[in-house]
Amino acid sequence: MLFLRYESFRQYVRLYPANTALLAVMLVLFLAQRIFPVLTFRLMATNIPPASQEIWRYLTAVFLHAGWMHLLFNAFALFVFAPPLERLFGSWKYVLFFLLCGIFGNVGALSFAGGQPVSVVGASGSIYGVFGAYLYMALFQRHMLDPQSRTTVYAILAMGALFSLIIPNVSFMAHFFGVFAGFVLYRWAGADNLR
């Protein structure tokens, strides 16, 4: 199965340097949020003026998290599921893919807020972007995923959609737009050449 991690810590860092760096930035910023709570309000994405005009927040919000459980879920998903995509893309292209999916997820969440004041934090849009890429593989490049991995992708997307709809303060739109971005960006990046 593609998503089982057998690497030691040193092997993981060597094989997946970009993913390791993303995880480290998320952890450092989370600790900084605990020490300086105002940091969350300075960096989160929001549709509340005047901060809504600061478009760089769509990027910075990707690395913030609302609590320990939020961080742990996202860090676990990133640690387990993203490494094969980094190997496939290469580190720099993978980081660009990850960031664009997160930005697009945040833009989607705020654009479809229905006039309600909304703020978003978290790497969920990026992580669902990773699953969007795997969804493309599962549908159009079946040879790239073994049957268990395809089943895992479908199950995570189905459970993620359900949880996004029923759990308060979870942004269904950020997840949906993350999946959409990952699906499209993976195809646009030349999916046929990534074999």
pLDDT tens per residue across span 1-11? 788 899 999 99
Residue 30 CA to residue 72 CA, distance in Å, equals: 11
Q: What is the pTM of this model?
A: 0.92
CATH 1.20.1540.10 at 9-190, yes or no? yes
Domain boundaries, the chain: 9-190
Residue 32 CA to residue 10 CA, distance in Å, equals: 25
Active site residues: 124, 175
Residue 183 CA to residue 185 CA, distance in Å, equals: 6
pLDDT in tens, the chain (195 residues): 788 899 999 999 999 999 999 999 999 999 999 999 999 999 999 999 999 899 999 999 999 999 999 999 999 999 999 999 999 999 999 999 999 999 999 999 999 988 889 999 999 999 999 999 999 999 999 999 999 999 999 999 999 888 888 877 788 899 999 999 999 999 987 666 655
